[in-house]
A and B are shown apart, each in its own frame.
Chain A
């Protein structure tokens, strides 16, 4: 027993090293599990406060770009408002029954307080959390396109897996043909995504819009993703690899919307607990 004690004392730095590495690796492998270990995450209170301060400083620099993108989005939304249209339809006395429809998706406005685009796996921190109704696995979009998926939530902050991450797969479709595949990021250019699994018989037009399918309960249907940049086919592969110019500019991201789907739980339940994307 005494010898064992001496042995441990002599090599204590090696055992301490092993001990610390085991802790770190267990954090890494448990990260996709439950909320238990999620204090060490950018959604906690301290990092939230620090990122809020630094983003306030940064926002002075980006102010004009952010204003431009918000005004473009406003114009786009105004064009969708019915009162802006001249309608040829006259009231024929048939009433729409509003009790037969309800709003499936609601949007929670949030500000990006931390964002990276230079790593293989990028994350964002938003200034909205549990008390604002944000839950794990909600989608995040911005005026231009998709942004990511909520990973961890604290009371006032949430951390989001950016689309620029090795594990994100977004179900997306070509707008003209409605053929769908999964959109991934290959890790080099934050402006380009890759749409996989489009069969080779499909005729793809360069410049065609790519939008979300709404198959998952994360993003609504027809959210803009980007435009087809080029089409490649690897030798002997039955699927195209489509390079897509992303419509979201991740480097100037400032205001985003978290998508809340009222029917998400119901849909996941009927699909047996699977959540696609």
Chain B
């Protein structure tokens, strides 16, 4: 199973994932939601799935570029770049906090299939929630709306998480068969 993944060039996979998720976000997902409370930001799946051994330099740079791309299409002036760069920066610390019992194996990407559901979901919850919290608070930039922003963060995080987990199950099933 692991050999299968290394056979595809990770640069090509990740470039494709970058473009696909960015396009999906700006064309479709920016318009999917309910009552201004649920609005998913699936594009950060790219940052979540970068291989473990990717140098921090590239993680930061590509996350920044991805955020900037989303900003460009949504007229949000750097808000996504701020949030995406931040979760790229804390990614190694999150890895440290939630180290699995056996430690990390090299050459693998932190996805659901490699790491198992409990680890991956914990990882995704932390990253998604922090990203959404920063993004929504910068967007509103007002303390008077703090609680409504918190509700928006929690509900949108839930939506994004569901999409992330769903996409992981769909993709890993198609690969193993």
Query: What is A's interface to B at a CB cutoff of 8 Å?
Result: 12-14, 16-17, 20-21, 23-28, 31, 39-44, 47, 50-51, 54, 114-121, 123, 125, 151-152, 159, 166, 187-190
Pairwise interchain contact B75-A118, C-beta atoms closer than 8 A: no
Contact in complex: B31, A121 (CB < 8 Å): no
Query: Judging by beta carbons under 8 Å apart, are B37 and A159 in contact?
Result: no
Shortest CB distance B87–A (Å):
11
Residue B43, interface by CB 8 Å? no
Q: How far is the CA of A50 from the CA of B26 in the complex (A)?
A: 10
A-chain residues with CB within 8 Å of residue B136 when the two chains form the complex? 120
**Measured between alpha carbons, how far is A28 from B148 in the docked complex, in Å?**
22
Min CB distance A214 to B, Å, is 27
Q: Is the CB of A188 within 8 A of B36?
A: yes
Q: How far does the Cβ of A135 sit from chain B's closest Cβ, in whole Å? A: 17
Roughly how many angstroms separate A20 CA and B139 CA in the complex, as a whole number? Answer: 18
Please tell me if the beta carbons of A13 and B57 are within 8 angstroms of each other in the complex: yes
Please indicate the chain A residues that have their CB under 8 angstroms from the CB of B60 in the complex. Answer: 13, 16-17, 20
CB within 8 Å for A116 and B30 given contacts A13-B60, A47-B72: yes
Complex: A51 Cα to B26 Cα, angstroms: 9
Contact B89 A187 (CB under 8 A): no
B 21-32 binary contact with A (CB < 8 Å = 1; else 0) = 001001100111
Q: A17-B88, A25-B82 are in contact. List 9 more A-B contacts (CB 8 A).
A: A12-B57, A27-B77, A40-B78, A42-B73, A51-B27, A118-B31, A119-B30, A166-B142, A188-B36
Q: Is the CB of B36 within 8 A of A187?
A: yes
A189 engages B36 (CB within 8 Å): yes
**Residues of the A chain whose Cβ atoms lie less than 8 Å from the Cβ of B139:** 119-121
7 pairs, CB–CB < 8 Å, chain A vs chain B? A13-B60, A23-B78, A23-B81, A117-B36, A118-B34, A123-B75, A125-B75
A16, B72: Cβ atoms under 8 Å? no
Chain A residues whose C-beta falls within 8 Å of the C-beta of B138 in the assembled complex: 28
Given contacts A20-B60, A118-B30, A118-B36, contact A28 B77 (CB under 8 A): yes
Contacting pair B74 A116 (CB below 8 A): yes
- Check B57 against A42 for contact (C-beta < 8 Å): no
Residues of the A chain whose Cβ atoms lie less than 8 Å from the Cβ of B30: 116, 118-119
B74 / chain A contacts, CB cutoff of 8 Å: 42, 116, 119, 123
Q: Is B46 an interface residue (CB 8 A)?
A: no
Whether A188 lies near B37 (C-beta < 8 A) is: yes
List of A residues within 8 angstroms of B73 by Cβ: 42, 47, 50-51, 114
Cα–Cα, bound, A123→B77 (Å)? 12
Binary flags per residue of B55-66, CB closer than 8 Å to A gives 1, else 0:
011001100100
The smallest C-beta distance from B123 to any residue of chain A, in angstroms, reads 19
Taking the complex as formed, is B165 at the interface, i.e. its CB lies under 8 A from any CB of chain A? no
| 6 nearest A-B pairs in the assembled complex, by CB-CB distance | A27-B78, A13-B56, A31-B77, A24-B81, A118-B33, A123-B75
Give Cα distance in the complex from A142 to B23, angstroms.
28
The residue in chain A whose Cβ has the minimal distance to the Cβ of B76 is A121
B19: shortest Cβ distance to chain A, in Å? 11
Contacts of A17 in B (CB 8 A): 60, 85-86, 88-89
A12 to B68, CA, bound (A): 21
Cβ B140 vs Cβ A166 within 8 A: yes
Contacts of A27 in B (CB 8 A): 71, 77-78, 81
